Amino acid sequence: MKAGIMVDVQNDFMFADGALYVPNAENIISNIVEVVKKLKENDLPIIATADKHYGLKDYAEVETELQVNGGPFPDHCMNGTPGGMLIGTLSETIGVPRKIDDYHSHSFEDVIEKQSQYYLKVVLSEGVAIFTKQTYDAFRNRYFARICKIFDEFIVFGVATDFCVYAVVDGLMRLGKKVTLITDAIAGVDKAKSADILLQFQKDGVVLIKTEDFLKGE
Ligand SMILES: [Zn+2]
């Protein structure tokens, strides 16, 4: 079973006036939209991820990346702000997908397991769902982590190559999954670091292709 993973295509990352702009991210928007359309055309589910931050004491333990907690990043994708929303351009193709949060870090694993089965059905029947997270690593959302185990093959795109995209691809490779990364539908914060990451991924067996070639495929 195959799925697309759309990483953090949120206003704060994608636009120059966003709180944590990824350089040139707006230039990949048209490719992202084309990839999403193609996935939908092929009836492939889209597993989206999104940052969702609070900056509150209760979340300090998981939000170590925020400056308020001594981390490197300013507040971004704050809960309920426009910056945290998926870019408007996508609403035409995917509407307003359901958000799947995993705040309850104390939930029992068997509850998470059971609930994951339900969320998998949501992803398959609605075609898309957004898994939210309080760190750059989407696998910290245990529903996301479990649902990824069900699929064999993934098409990954979004931002940022050297943070959230890296964490997703790295996590999938650790699970032994087949991963295709669309190189002109991703953007990185540090250009040199992102280029090195792509080289390493290629060595590890990640398939790197351009949007144009992905669109030509089945
Ligand atoms: Zn974040």
Lowest mean pLDDT among 102-116, 134-148, 178-192: 102-116
**Structure confidence at residue 108 (pLDDT):** 82
CA–centroid distance, residue 217 to ligand 1 (Å): 33
Q: For the segment 7-26, what is each residue's pLDDT rounded down to a tens digit?
A: 999 999 999 999 999 999 99
Q: Is the pLDDT of residue 107 over 80?
A: no
CA–centroid distance, residue 84 to ligand 1 (Å): 10
Q: For the segment 141-167, what is each residue's pLDDT rounded down to a tens digit?
A: 999 999 999 999 999 999 999 999 999
CA–centroid distance, residue 102 to ligand 1 (Å): 15
CA–centroid distance, residue 136 to ligand 1 (Å): 5
b/e for 103-140, b at 16 or more Cβ within 10 A?
A: eeeeeeeeebeebbeebbebbeeebbbbbbbbbbbbbb
**Structure confidence at residue 104 (pLDDT):** 61
* pTM given for the model: 0.97
CA-CA distance, 178 to 84, in Å (whole number)?
29
The sign of the torsion formed by the CA atoms of 207, 210, 215, 217 equals: negative
CA-CA distance, 95 to 126, in Å (whole number)?
10
CA–centroid distance, residue 216 to ligand 1 (Å): 34
List, in order, residues 6 or more apart from 142 with CB less than 8 Å away. Answer: 102, 109, 112, 116
CA–centroid distance, residue 86 to ligand 1 (Å): 14
Domains identified in the chain and CATH numbers: 2-216 (3.40.50.850)
